[in-house]
Structures are given as C-alpha cells and as structure tokens.
Amino acid sequence: MDLRGVIEMHVHAGPDVRPRKMDALTLVRTAKAAGMRALLLKSHDSITADLAQVVESAVGGIRVFGAVTLNEAVGGFNAEAVRSALALGAKEVFMPTFSAAHHRRKEGKSGGLSILDGSGQIRDDVKVILDLVAEADVVLGTSHLSPDEILILARASQQRGVRKFLVSHPEIRFLAIPLDVQLALAAEGAHFERMHLHGNSCVDWAGLAAIMRAVGIERTVLVTDLGRADAVDPVTGMQEMLDELARQGFHESELDLMTHETPARLLGIEG
C-alpha cells in the first residue's frame, strides 16, 4: 500500500524551538508528492493552526491542519489560548506534553501540570477547555498525561460532550498504557494513535499489532510522531509503518480504515 490518500494526524516540523528534520513547507511538499491527503502539525510550544493555513495555501493540493498543546509555553490550561487556536482553525487540542506532571516525574523532576486538583477532581480550568473542545467538535489529545489521568479525562470528556477523544501514543515508553486500561478507555469511546516505532516504544511491531487487534482497529489511527532531526523523515516513516503492519498481517482495507477513513472522520473531512 502506498501513501495516496493517507492522513497523518501527529507530525512535527520546523520552525520549532527544537531541531527538526524538515521545515513545514518541505514536509508538506514531500507529503503532497507522495500523494498524501492531509497532515496535522503539532508543536510542543506554539499554536500551529496559523502556520498550517499559510503552508496549505503555498503548496496547494493537500490539506494542512494545526493544533495547540497546553504546555507552559502557552500558559498551561489556558482557555484563551484554546479559543485563539480554534479561531485559527485548529483541529486538535493536546493536553500537556513536556510540562505534564507525569512527564516530569518520569524524568526525575518535580512540578508540572496535572488535570486534577488537590482533591483528585478535574480542575475547573480543564472543564472549561473540555467545553470549548466539545463546542468546536475538535479532537482532544491526551499527550503525556499519566494513564490514570487519561482514564479520568476520558470519562469527564464524555460527560461534557467531547466526541473525539484521541489517546496519544499509548505505547511510548513513559506511558506504556496497560491493555486493560486501553480497553477501559475504548469502552469510554476513545480512539488511539498507534505510532511509528523509532526507538522510544515499549513494544515491537508484533506487539503493536497484537494490541491494535485487541483494542480494535476501528478505534485506531496510524501516526508517525516523527520530525526529530535524528530520525527518518515523517513521510518515509509513514510508508515504513504501512509496510511493517502489512507484514504483520493487516490487509489493505484495514490500513485504509486507520489512515484514511477514521482520521478523516476525526478531522471532519469525510468525503
């Protein structure tokens, strides 16, 4: 299976505060040349919806979407940052990544952002953000929250009307979300990113395939989360991922579901 019509929902590009494999313009041109339908640009530090609009207009023939990640660089759980991102056309609101308390703990550091208050309840400012996500009918990405937080967030999101809940890279080492928790999340209506394996995952391709089957391919979108300067470029990485999963026994119709149909529905670009 080639990349014609493929939609990538989690990719990094420059300009960024970290070295990146490609700038956004080069990435989108490369993706278009491969026949891809759409990309969603993610940054840990800034809103990408404005960049996405400019690059889409400059390249043409491919959709480009942006997002906002609620790290300290944008004020954490900052409803105004979310409102601005949505006004610019952002299609996903990501919870904190490097600013998340869970991420900090995994690095042996203190502090960081949690969705929970001192009594273990969802913070009021997070509730406001859930309401904004629900109203806009965009995707809520879980990023680097702890597995326990993600499950609490999934339940709160459902209660507040969020319809597109996407668990970010559950097989990344610092998350390693257990299968029973993933099944519980699926029961709450969650979808799951399954990420290209480039040295930071807790499974191999066979293990990833088994989890995908167990949780359900109908709840899966394939992403690369690539863009690091020291790794393969995202477009090549997506092709590698499709080839590896085909070797694991996934049929083209199944890969199509995970790279065409489901991401199109989450982004609101069906048809």
Question: Which token pair is 83?
Answer: 């409102």
Q: What would the mean pLDDT of 22-26 be, rounded to a whole number?
A: 98
Per the CB < 8 A criterion, the answer to whether 39 and 27 are in contact is yes
Q: What does the pLDDT read at residue 208?
A: 98
Scan for tokens 């009918």, then name that residue.
137
How much is the pTM? Answer: 0.97
For residue range 182-213, list pLDDT tens digits in order.
999 999 999 999 999 999 999 999 999 999 99
Q: What would the mean pLDDT of 24-29 be, rounded to a whole number?
A: 98
Per the CB < 8 A criterion, the answer to whether 47 and 81 are in contact is yes
Per the CB < 8 A criterion, the answer to whether 67 and 40 are in contact is yes
**pLDDT above 80 (res 271):** no
For residue range 222-239, list pLDDT tens digits in order.
999 999 999 999 999 999
Exposure string (b/e) for 207-232, b if CB count within 10 Å is 16 or more? ebbebbeebebebbbbbbbbbbeebb
pLDDT band at 270 (very low <50, low <70, confident <90, very high): confident
* Cβ-based neighbour number of residue 168 at 10 Å: 25
Calculate the CA 249 to chain-centre distance: 24
Q: What would the mean pLDDT of 234-259 be, rounded to a whole number?
A: 98
Q: Output 242-246 pairs: Cβ under 8 A, ≥24 positions apart.
A: 242/1, 242/3, 242/6, 244/197, 244/205, 245/205, 245/209, 246/1
Calculate the CA 120 to chain-centre distance: 25
